[in-house]
A and B are shown apart, each in its own frame.
Chain A
Amino acid sequence: MEETRKGTVTSLSSVFPAEEAQKAVKRVQDTISDKKSELDYLRGFVADNNNLINLVHKLPEQLSHDIMVPFGKAAFFPGRLVHTNEFLVLLGEGYYAERTSKQTVEILTRRGKSLDSRVDSIEAIIKDLQAEASFFNATASEALEGLVEIREDYVEEDCKQESKSGSLKQSAPNFGKTTADDQQYARMMSRLDELEKQEELASESGNHSDQSEETTSDTDDISYQRPTDNNLQSSQDFRQGMLLDQTKNKSMAAEIPKKQNHQEDIADQLNFASLAVQSKVQEKENVPKKVRFVDQGEKLVHPEEKIVKATTASKGEVQHQTSQTSFDSRKAFTGSIIEHAENIKASPIEQSSTLSQVSGSQPKKPVSRFRMQRK
């Protein structure tokens, strides 16, 4: 059972060396500036076109215009513009057509539209490129900070035996939560979304350098994942697993009754949980426990594949639940826990069994992987 839970740890800088990432940033920036000059060029065309349209509009207002006619490169002589409603319009490829002012304006507006669409497409391309550049930038800085990527594959076979062992372990079943679950789940999720946004804002605002901050955000992760799972799993074993965990972690003891009534006020509980854990985790010896928590929550919510990031630096930012496997590498850089909320409801048995497996095998679990960054 233990072997199946082993994952791989890759340091980010070995996959993406910081220099390479910076080179990539530079390249992308170059492309952006190219595109920008192209955009300026096109904008010039658009302006020309608009001026021309105005002129063509105005010309037929009079029968003739007094103008200075260019003669050669340097000379002009006075002349008169007659037939002000006749235009010879270049259609392209050497084809000209005789048109009236009105028809000419039609042609010009059509051209303007095609120009506009080209401008739009180039703007979109520039936007994409900028996103790419910022991504490379983030990668470079994270590679410098020495992030590691931890991957563990979810092994499907575990489920069956786990569910057996899980059901055996359930010694304190509780009932009657099922009806309330859906409502609670909805409330919970909205609250969680809010919290996530707050955290993202906080991490973006940029003071997230010290260890204590990081621990805080990590604990937030835990505390918010736990109630979620709690709700999702009406089956008892999860609660059981939680009780086990909580008794292990003495600091959480005060919280247990609350958990058991299964909360009137979720927000309160969340805050309480995070406070309680935080106060304790600031002491280093609790770190292993904390990490285990993270891992467990992760296991629960992310059956496919999981990436738990332990990071010395910065962002304990919680990612959106919508994150997909295709974005794994991206998410992995941000030092966060990725969960798939949509999977949670779909396969409760699987998850609960996973949980009991996890809680069963916890002592064997090598903590060092997750701690490695802290040393």
Chain B
Amino acid sequence: MSTLRDLQRELENKANDLSKLQKDIAKNHQVRKKYTVQLGENELVLKELDLLKDDANVYKLIGPVLVKQDLAEANANVRKRIEYISAELKRLDATVQDLEEKQNSKKDTILKLQQRIQSLQAGKGKA
């Protein structure tokens, strides 16, 4: 009887862990989505900047003010930003994969626990 209760408590814990993991994964996905959007935007900016002539005036909005920027500088900045975002995306991918692996193993353990509980209950029912 006590073993059954123990098992059930364990199962509950594991289920909590699993839901936590799933929340993490969802959060990660959201962040990833945000970064993907930013990457797309930056690439668009870079394309437009490349199309600009050298004498074009480029400004950057910093807080409430537009600050005039050198085109080359702006270009370099955008490139750097893209690099950063790509690296970040890679990192996020790795963590998501890691989390998913953890999630799968958790699912397995939960399944096993459930089976054990079921078999215990079945045994009890017969007895």
Which residues of A line the B interface, CB within 8 A? Answer: 88, 91-99, 106-107, 110-111, 114
Query: Do B60 and A107 have beta carbons less than 8 Å apart?
Result: no
**Across the interface, do B58 and A93 meet the contact criterion of CB distance under 8 Å?**
no
A92 and B60 form a contact (CB under 8 A): no
* Interface residues, chain B, with chain A CB atoms under 8 Å away: 38, 41-42, 44-45, 47-49, 51-52, 56-62, 66, 69, 74, 78, 81
Check A97/B61 contact, CB under 8 A, given A91-B45, A92-B41, A114-B44. Answer: no
| B48 and A93 form a contact (CB under 8 A) | no
The 6 closest A-B pairs by CB, nearest first: A94-B61, A98-B57, A96-B59, A92-B41, A92-B45, A91-B45
Whether A93 and B78, one on each chain, are in contact in the complex, defined by CB atoms closer than 8 angstroms, is yes
Beyond A107-B48, A114-B44, whether A95 also contacts B78 by CB under 8 A is yes
Q: Which residues in A have their C-beta under 8 angstroms from that of B66?
A: 88, 96
A95 touches B44 (CB 8 A): no
Cβ contact within 8 Å between A92 and B58 = no
CB distance from B86 to the nearest CB of A (A): 15
Q: Are A91 and B61 in contact (CB under 8 A)?
A: no
With A91-B45, A114-B44 as known contacts, state yes or no: A96 contacts B60, CB within 8 Å. yes
Report the separation of the CA atoms of residues A204 and B34 in the bound assembly, to the nearest whole angstrom.
45
Give A106 to B41 CA distance when docked, in angstroms.
Answer: 17
Q: Cβ of A95: which chain B residues have Cβ within 8 Å of it?
A: 45, 49, 58-61, 69, 74, 78
The 28 sampled A-B contact pairs (Cβ below 8 Å) are A88-B59, A91-B44, A92-B41, A92-B42, A92-B45, A93-B38, A93-B41, A93-B42, A93-B45, A93-B81, A94-B60, A94-B62, A95-B58, A95-B59, A95-B60, A95-B61, A95-B69, A95-B78, A96-B58, A97-B49, A97-B52, A97-B57, A97-B59, A98-B56, A98-B58, A98-B59, A110-B47, A111-B44
With most chain B CB atoms within 10 A of its CB, the pick from A91, A96, A107, A110 is A91
Q: Are A91 and B56 in contact (CB under 8 A)?
A: no
Q: For the complex, what is the distance from the CA of A234 to the CA of B9, rounded to whole Å?
A: 72
Residues from chain B with Cβ under 8 Å of A107 in the complex: 48
Q: How far is the CB of A200 from chain B (nearest CB, A)?
A: 42
Cβ-defined contact, B49 with A96, below 8 A: no
Least distance between A185 CB and chain B CB atoms (Å): 52
Tell me, in angstroms, the Cα distance from A111 to B60 when the chains sit together. Answer: 20
Q: Report whether A92 and B56 are in contact in the complex, using a CB–CB cutoff of 8 Å.
A: no
